Amino acid sequence: MKTIGLIAGMSWESSAVYYNIFNRKTAEILGGYHSAKCIMVSVDFAEIEELQHKNNWKLLEKMMIQLAQQLEKAGADFVVLGTNTMHFCAFEIEKSIHVPFLHIADATGQKIKKTGLQKVALLGTRFTMEMDFYTKFIYEKFGIEVMVPDKPERELIHRIIYNELVHGIILNESREKVKQIVNNMNSTGAEGVILGCTEIPLLISDSDVDIPVFDTTKIHAERAVEIAIMGE
């Protein structure tokens, strides 16, 4: 079994979900007493959040590279970055390490491609929805069109993520608002929805909406386990 290297803490709420999935999926596949081989390096999210909102992506990129290199030196066979937004730095991370890097949008795009859907909605932080590193990746690699909500809805989702979900606060009122956003996008052509922030699955799931839901946390973590056990 290969050792998974996880860059965590963005936020720790979703990182706990990653760790849970790593071990449950490993036990599901291998049975018995098996659990995941995993190395985790976790950051202080307050530092990350401040730099994100100051648009200091160069320093964030440097930090992500250092964390990936730290995992490689510690013995990780490949690296998983447990956050959608910081995949803005994915290209530079990949160039900086000698072990594979599992891109969250790659794992998600593969999953969507298998369903045959051609047009999906993306919910995430304002950074993920408004910068093209995520939507462009999925369109160019898989030919899948990715829609984002209107600006007021993007701002609402962003606030819910940073003011509630990263603190473990789950509000029914927020769930209903996000469900309405998904329904609105479904009515304008979205055939499915990417939960493109690793905290959003804490709020909604496929039982909350009428179109297929792609939980990036679950997809990413389970793909990491498959690679660890069975290889590419």
Amino acid at 76: A
Residue tagged 């898989």 (tokens): 142
Identified catalytic residue from 26, 125, 135, 197: 197
C-alpha of 93 from chain center: 16
Give the span between the Cα atoms of 87 and 81, in whole angstroms: 7
Q: Let me know: does 161 contact 178? Beta carbons within 8 Å.
A: no
83 among known catalytic residues: yes
In terms of DSSP bridges, do strands 119-123 and 145-147 run parallel, antiparallel, or are they unpaired? parallel
DSSP 39: E
Residues near 197 by Cβ (< 8 Å), separated by ≥ 6? 84, 85, 123, 124, 125, 128, 161, 165, 216
38 among known catalytic residues: no
Identified catalytic residue from 83, 125, 198, 217: 83
Residues near 3 by Cβ (< 8 Å), separated by ≥ 6? 37, 38, 39, 75, 76, 77, 228
Give the span between the Cα atoms of 44 and 158, in whole angstroms: 19
User: What are the strands, taking DSSP E only, across the chain?
Assistant: 4-8, 38-42, 78-81, 101-102, 119-123, 145-147, 192-195, 213-215
Where in the sequence numbering do the catalytic residues fall? 83, 197
